[in-house]
Structure 1
Amino acid sequence: MTTAEFIREYRERDIRQLALQANRFPDVDMPYALDQIQGWQIARRKLPKWAACDGVIFPPHLSMEQCSSEPTAQYKLNLAMEWAERVDHASSMTDLTGGFGVDFSFTSCAFAAATYVERSEQLCSIVEHNLPLLGLNNATVVCADAVEYLSTVEPQTMLFLDPARRDEHGAKTVMLADCTPDVVQLLPKLLEKSRFTMLKLSPMLDWHKAVDDLQGTVREVHIVSVGGECKELLLVLSTVVESELKVYCADLSTASAPSSLFVYTPGSSAPVANSKLKTQNSKFVHEPNASIMKAGCFDELAAAYGVSPVSRNSHLFLSDEPVEDFPGRSFVVERVTTMNKGELRKALVGIEKANIATRNFPLTVAELRKRLKIKDGGDVYIFATTTAEGEHLLLISRKYR
């Protein structure tokens, strides 16, 4: 059995079990085969179109885990196309930190010519092999250091950077200045060599500080979530286009187009008054999506959708009427109770299990679940929070949408 045949036949098997059986397949390059099988298994989840393409070579595990998923890569393509049209120029782009080439394979489709730059010879070889299989014939692969190449490149429509977010010891970094290459240091050259630059950064990074560090050149901030988890922070830099900073909070769910998108201008709304909960009123409680939680745009959200915060630190919002297009999850509040034992006993009658979340509350989910003696799961949702007056309450709810 050849290595290629082994990969095709066993690619759905557990790689740990396959590694233990290596002696059964003396003609198979087992380290390479296991890399390919593991890569294909990750791609089947993150990059189904790539997984369905025969002949694609996958890189070592770390590159596969760090690469973009199809929904986030498609989002970047849409963003690149919008900006290319905005600057009336879609001739060329260069990805200075190519990696496995997922983002490049998508964003390059917006331009007549595209250049992939990567200092790893192994990744360059893999990408050069894969691009034709993916139908990309407008691309050039260059093995070079990003900083050195930037000094020689002709002016481009778009430059794309995904700086490495690990230090020399492999530890994650979240400060812009700690990434490699140092975008702040490269800023003058990036602006000189592009009509706009797109930066892909860690979702852990403080986007407010990043905007400040980039000295007034950031035109858009895009906070992208997939399936309820914040995945990417994208910044678009330009001196060609002068505009007020806008922040885009996109929740992609599992599709390539946003299932919810909230756009706002930072500081555009005055603080909204806290809501005063009344147990006799039926209300709706709204939980913002992960991108909005990351953005911290709670005043703007409340003003835009006519909802009221439970308190400044709860990050839960109430309304008397349903809000059909709220960017997050909405629930019907059936009962509200304090932590008084008598009230709790009455409010929890008939509830044997529930989904519990704590927001600005003194107990953890595990501690609260133990105290309430309620199992996990079911269609009841309990939000434990603290009001502006300091009262600890449970909002017992069911999902509205």
Structure 2
Amino acid sequence: MTTAEFIREYRERDIRQLALQANRFPDVDMPYALDQIQGWQIARRKLPKWAACDGVIFPPHLSMEQCSSEPTAQYKLNLAMEWAEKVGHAGRMTDLTGGFGVDFSFTSCAFAAATYVERNEQLCHIVEHNLPLLGLNNATVVCADAVEYLSTVEPQTMLFLDPARRDEHGAKTVMLADCTPDVVQLLPKLLEKSRFTMLKLSPMLDWHKAVDDLQGTVREVHIVSVGGECKELLLVLSTVVESELKVYCADLSTASDTSSLFVYTPGSSAPVANSTFNIQHSTFLHEPNASIMKAGCFDELAAAYGVSPVSRNSHLFLSDEPVEDFPGRSFVVERVTTMNKSELRKALVGIEKANIATRNFPLTVAELRKRLKIKDGGDVYIFATTTAEGEHLLLISRKYR
């Protein structure tokens, strides 16, 4: 059995079990085969189109874990197409930090020609092999340092950078100045060499500080979540287009759909007052999605959807009526209780398990669950929070949608 045949036949098996059976397959390059099987198994979940393409070579495990998923890569393609139209030019793009090439394979489709730049020679060979298999014939692969290449490149429609977010010891970094290459230092050259630049940054980064560090050149901030988890922070820089800064909070559900998108201009709304009505049965409770939580745009959200915050620090919102298309989850409050023992006992009758969340509350989820003696799971949701008046409440709810 050849190595390629082994990979095809055993790619759905547990790689740990396969490693123990290596002696049964003397003609198989087992380290390579296990890398490819593990890569394919990650791709099946993260990059189904790539997993379905015969012959694609997958990189070492770390590169697979760090690469974009299909939904986020598709989002970047859509963004690149919008901006190419905005600047009136879809000529050439260059990805200065190519990596495994997932983002490049998508964003390059928006342009007539594209260049992939990567200093890791092994990754360059892999990408050079994969691109034709993926039907990308407008691409050139260059093995070079991003900073050195940038100084020689002709002006582009788009430059794309995903700066490395690990230091020399392998520890994660989240400050813009600590990433490699240093985008702040490169800023004048990036603006000179592109009509617009797209930066992919750590979702842990403080986007307000990043916007300040980039000296008024950021036109759009995109905070992208998948499956309720904040995955990427994208910044679009340009001096060709002059416009007010806009922030896009996107929560993606599938490779091609945006389940919710909230767009706002920072500082466009006055602070919204805390909820003043009595929380009771049939009140609607709204929990923003992860992108909005990251953006911190709670006043803009309340103004746009006509909801009232429980308190300034709760990040939970209330309404008397259902709110269609709210960017997050909505619930119907069935019971409300304080932490008074007798009230709690009465409110929790018949509830053996529930999903618990704490927002601006003195106990952790684990501490509250222990006190309530309730198991995890089920279709009941308990939100523990503090009102503007300082009262600790449990909002016992069920999903509205």
Residue pair 1:227, 1:254 contacting (<8 A) in 2 also: no
The answer for the alignment partner of 1:192 in structure 2 is 192
- Are the structure 2 counterparts of residues 85 and 280 from structure 1 closer, same or farther at C-alpha, using a change threshold of 3 Å? closer
CA distance in 1, matches of 2:218, 2:23: 56
Residue pair 1:166, 1:172 contacting (<8 A) in 2 also: yes
Cα shift at 1:334: 0.8
CA distance in 2, matches of 1:281, 1:203: 37
Residue pair 2:223, 2:248 contacting (<8 A) in 1 also: yes
Partner of 2:258, secondary structure, is coil
Percent identity of equivalent pairs: 96
Cα shift at 1:352: 1.1
The answer for the alignment partner of 1:62 in structure 2 is 62
CA distance in 1, matches of 2:313, 2:5: 57
Residue pair 2:281, 2:336 contacting (<8 A) in 1 also: no
Cα shift at 1:387: 0.7
> Which range is displaced more, 355-364 or 254-263?
254-263
- Are the structure 2 counterparts of residues 280 and 134 from structure 1 closer, same or farther at C-alpha, using a change threshold of 3 Å? closer
Cα deviations by residue, 1:206-227 (Å, 9 ceiling, x for unpaired): 0000000000000000000001
Cα shift at 1:253: 1.9
Cα deviations by residue, 1:275-295 (Å, 9 ceiling, x for unpaired): 135254531000000000000
Give unpaired runs (5+ residues) of structure 2: none
Cα shift at 1:16: 1.0
Partner of 2:192, secondary structure, is helix
CA distance in 2, matches of 1:25, 1:279: 67
Residue pair 2:222, 2:235 contacting (<8 A) in 1 also: yes
Residue pair 1:72, 1:256 contacting (<8 A) in 2 also: no
Cα deviations by residue, 1:147-185 (Å, 9 ceiling, x for unpaired): 000000000000000000000000000000000000000
Partner of 2:187, secondary structure, is helix
Cα deviations by residue, 1:285-320 (Å, 9 ceiling, x for unpaired): 000000000000000000000000001110000000
CA distance in 2, matches of 1:82, 1:161: 18
Cα deviations by residue, 1:10-56 (Å, 9 ceiling, x for unpaired): 10111111111111111111110011000000000000000000000
Residue pair 1:279, 1:337 contacting (<8 A) in 2 also: no
- Are the structure 2 counterparts of residues 280 and 63 from structure 1 closer, same or farther at C-alpha, using a change threshold of 3 Å? closer
TM-score by structure 2 length? 0.99
CA distance in 2, matches of 1:201, 1:92: 22
The answer for the alignment partner of 1:306 in structure 2 is 306
- Are the structure 2 counterparts of residues 275 and 2 from structure 1 closer, same or farther at C-alpha, using a change threshold of 3 Å? same
Cα deviations by residue, 1:378-401 (Å, 9 ceiling, x for unpaired): 111100001111110000000000
- Are the structure 2 counterparts of residues 327 and 279 from structure 1 closer, same or farther at C-alpha, using a change threshold of 3 Å? closer
CA distance in 1, matches of 2:105, 2:282: 50
Following superposition of structure 1 onto structure 2, how do residues 244-393 of structure 1 map, counting pairs within 5 Å?
Answer: 244-276=244-276, 278-280=278-280, 282-393=282-393
Partner of 1:140, secondary structure, is strand
Partner of 1:132, secondary structure, is helix
CA-atom RMSD in angstroms: 0.8
Partner of 1:259, secondary structure, is strand
Cα shift at 1:324: 0.9
Cα shift at 1:257: 2.4
Cα deviations by residue, 1:112-160 (Å, 9 ceiling, x for unpaired): 0000000011000000000000000000000000000000000000000
CA distance in 1, matches of 2:24, 2:167: 40
Cα deviations by residue, 1:86-107 (Å, 9 ceiling, x for unpaired): 0000000000000000000000
Cα shift at 1:256: 2.5
Cα shift at 1:346: 1.0
CA distance in 1, matches of 2:280, 2:128: 66
Give unpaired runs (5+ residues) of structure 1: none
CA distance in 2, matches of 1:24, 1:305: 63
CA distance in 1, matches of 2:218, 2:10: 47
Residue pair 2:280, 2:333 contacting (<8 A) in 1 also: no
> Which range is displaced more, 70-79 or 358-367?
358-367
CA distance in 2, matches of 1:345, 1:256: 46
Residue pair 2:71, 2:252 contacting (<8 A) in 1 also: yes
Cα shift at 1:373: 1.1
Q: How many residues align?
A: 401
CA distance in 2, matches of 1:277, 1:53: 56
CA distance in 2, matches of 1:256, 1:311: 36
Residue pair 1:91, 1:111 contacting (<8 A) in 2 also: yes
CA distance in 2, matches of 1:23, 1:169: 36
Cα shift at 1:274: 0.5
The answer for the alignment partner of 2:136 in structure 1 is 136
Residue pair 2:336, 2:393 contacting (<8 A) in 1 also: yes
CA distance in 2, matches of 1:65, 1:179: 18
Following superposition of structure 1 onto structure 2, how do residues 67-216 of structure 1 map, counting pairs within 5 Å?
Answer: 67-216=67-216
Partner of 1:215, secondary structure, is coil
Cα shift at 1:71: 0.3
CA distance in 2, matches of 1:150, 1:139: 17
Cα shift at 1:69: 0.4
CA distance in 2, matches of 1:191, 1:358: 44
Cα shift at 1:349: 1.1
CA distance in 2, matches of 1:23, 1:137: 41
Residue pair 1:279, 1:335 contacting (<8 A) in 2 also: no
CA distance in 2, matches of 1:82, 1:262: 17
Cα deviations by residue, 1:56-103 (Å, 9 ceiling, x for unpaired): 000000000000000000000000000000000000000000000000
Partner of 2:151, secondary structure, is helix
Residue pair 1:228, 1:253 contacting (<8 A) in 2 also: no
The answer for the alignment partner of 1:239 in structure 2 is 239
Residue pair 1:47, 1:70 contacting (<8 A) in 2 also: yes
